[in-house]
């Protein structure tokens, strides 16, 4: 990231579309070319992907039984 | 396919008709279908169980009261998320310190992000290192450090699986604003997690 800061900054700005597969071919090619030569940006992209992956795997918080019961009560309904 | 669409499909239309006809069983069906996800969103926005429960109750009270005005432009799940999000934000505005209001943080959320500082490469640690309760707690803690504006965009888009357009509809912002918030949220979370993993596995600090 030190050698070519301007390039790195530009690349990081385009990452959202790239990670979602929405960046056009020219942008993808440019990003991938840069990643081959810039270890720091390669690490940022890889750990960014992994970050999103870990959150997608995270289980939904559980709805406690007593919270569900109180919800029904508040709404004057029966489960 | 979003989590919402996965479990509802065409059944929503029938459910909405029954809700609009005042069918009490339909209210119970709606609660069974959507309350876990609404509670999950509320808990991640409010960061405590008591407030999350209040948001959950207010969401369904408001939704059932307003069901006649629901025109089906979005799907039922997205509409409920929107009510829950607005209810949560109203509460956060009431409790947020006036010095840096929730709305100021909203504007800040769409500005740029700072350059990455943590460059520890943790992405290829063995999978078993990620499948622990401690890492799950760290993920929730890191999420809690984001502002509500960033957190809501990230939770809806990445964790609840809404599309960018659906997320924009829930948050009442443009799709490009959603993308900016997501970019910043992902970068901030990456920074938090990198600090955590560097502390555990980095040179000289590690347990392993």
The full set of domain ranges for chain A reads 5-74
Where in chain B do CATH 1.10.1740.10 domains reside? 3-95
Tell me how far apart the alpha carbons of residues B44 and B22 are, in angstroms, rounded to a whole number. 31
State the nearest Cα–Cα gap between A42 and chain B, in angstroms. Answer: 9
Measured between CB atoms, does A46 come within 8 Å of chain B?
Answer: yes
Mutation for testing the A interface, residue in B123, B140, B168 having most A CBs under 10 Å: B123
User: B112 phi and psi, to 5 degrees?
Assistant: -65, 180
ipTM above 0.85?
yes
Residue B98 has which token pair?
């006036």
pLDDT of residue B117: 87
pLDDT of residue B6: 43
Contacts of residue B116, Cβ cutoff 8 Å, sequence gap at least 6: A1, A12, A40, A44, B187, B190, B191, B194
Mutation for testing the A interface, residue in B6, B19, B25, B57 having most A CBs under 10 Å: B57
In this prediction, the residues of chain B whose per-residue pLDDT falls under 70 are 1-10, 96-113, 204-208
State the nearest Cα–Cα gap between A19 and chain B, in angstroms. Answer: 10
pLDDT of residue B108: 66
Where in chain B do CATH 1.10.10.10 domains reside? 102-201
Contacts of residue B150, Cβ cutoff 8 Å, sequence gap at least 6: B109, B181, B184, B185, B188
DSSP alpha helix (H) spans, chain A: 5-13, 15-19, 25-37, 39-57, 65-74
Return the higher-pLDDT residue of A27 and A12.
A27
Q: Which of A16, A58, A70 lies nearest to residue B182, judging by beta carbons?
A: A16
Residue B9 has which token pair?
């499909």
Measured between CB atoms, does A73 come within 8 Å of chain B?
Answer: no
pLDDT tens digits, one per residue of B13-51: 899 999 999 999 999 999 999 999 999 999 999 999 999
pLDDT of residue B151: 96
User: A35 phi and psi, to 5 degrees?
Assistant: -65, -30
Cα-based torsion angle of the residue sequence B177, B179, B184, B190 in order, rounded to the nearest 10 degrees = 160
Residue A49 in this model has a pLDDT that exceeds 90:
yes
Share of chain A above pLDDT 70, in %: 91
Q: Which of A43, A54, A70 lies nearest to residue B121, judging by beta carbons?
A: A43
pLDDT tens digits, one per residue of B97-118: 655 566 666 666 666 667 788 9
Which of the four pLDDT bands, split at 50, 70 and 90, describes residue A12? confident
pTM for the whole thing?
Answer: 0.89
Return the higher-pLDDT residue of A27 and B139.
B139
Q: B8 and B76 in contact (C-beta within 8 Å)?
A: yes
Tell me how far apart the alpha carbons of residues A23 and A9 are, in angstroms, rounded to a whole number. 16
pLDDT of residue B112: 65
CATH: 3.20.20.70, 1.10.10.10, 3.40.50.300, 3.40.50.150. Which one for B102-201?
Answer: 1.10.10.10
- Residues of B with Cβ-Cβ distance to A44 under 8 angstroms: 116, 119, 190
pLDDT, mean of residues A35-51: 93
CATH of domain B3-95: 1.10.1740.10
Backbone dihedral region for residue A64 (phi beyond 0: left; psi -120 to 50: alpha; all else: beta): beta
pLDDT of residue B20: 95
């Amino acid at each position: 990231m030190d050698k070519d800061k301007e390039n790195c900054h530009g690349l990081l700005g385009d990452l959202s579309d790239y990670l979602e597969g929405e960046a056009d071919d020219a942008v993808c090619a440019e990003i991938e070319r840069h990643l081959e030569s810039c270890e720091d940006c390669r690490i940022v992209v890889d750990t960014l992907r992994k970050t999103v992956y870990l959150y997608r795997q995270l289980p939904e918080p559980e709805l406690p039984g007593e919270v569900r019961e109180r919800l029904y009560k508040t709404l004057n309904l029966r489960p | 396919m979003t989590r919402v669409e996965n479990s509802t499909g065409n059944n929503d239309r029938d459910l909405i008709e029954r809700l609009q006809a005042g069918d009490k069983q339909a209210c119970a069906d709606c609660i069974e279908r959507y309350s876990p996800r609404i509670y999950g969103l509320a808990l991640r926005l409010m960061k405590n169980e008591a407030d999350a429960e209040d948001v959950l109750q207010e969401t369904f009270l408001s939704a059932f009261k307003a069901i006649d005005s629901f025109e089906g432009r979005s799907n039922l799940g997205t509409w409920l998320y929107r009510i829950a999000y607005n209810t949560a934000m109203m509460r956060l505005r009431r409790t947020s310190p006036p010095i840096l209001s929730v709305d100021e943080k909203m504007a800040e959320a769409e500005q740029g992000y700072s350059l990455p500082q943590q460059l520890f490469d943790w992405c290829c640690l063995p999978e078993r290192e990620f499948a622990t309760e401690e890492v799950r707690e760290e993920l929730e803690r890191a999420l809690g450090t984001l502002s509500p504006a960033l957190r809501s965009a990230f939770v809806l888009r990445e964790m609840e699986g809404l599309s960018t357009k659906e997320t924009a509809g829930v948050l009442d912002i443009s799709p490009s604003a959603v993308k900016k918030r997501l970019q910043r949220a992902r970068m901030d979370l990456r920074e938090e997690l990198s600090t955590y993993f560097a502390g555990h596995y980095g040179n000289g600090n590690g347990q392993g």
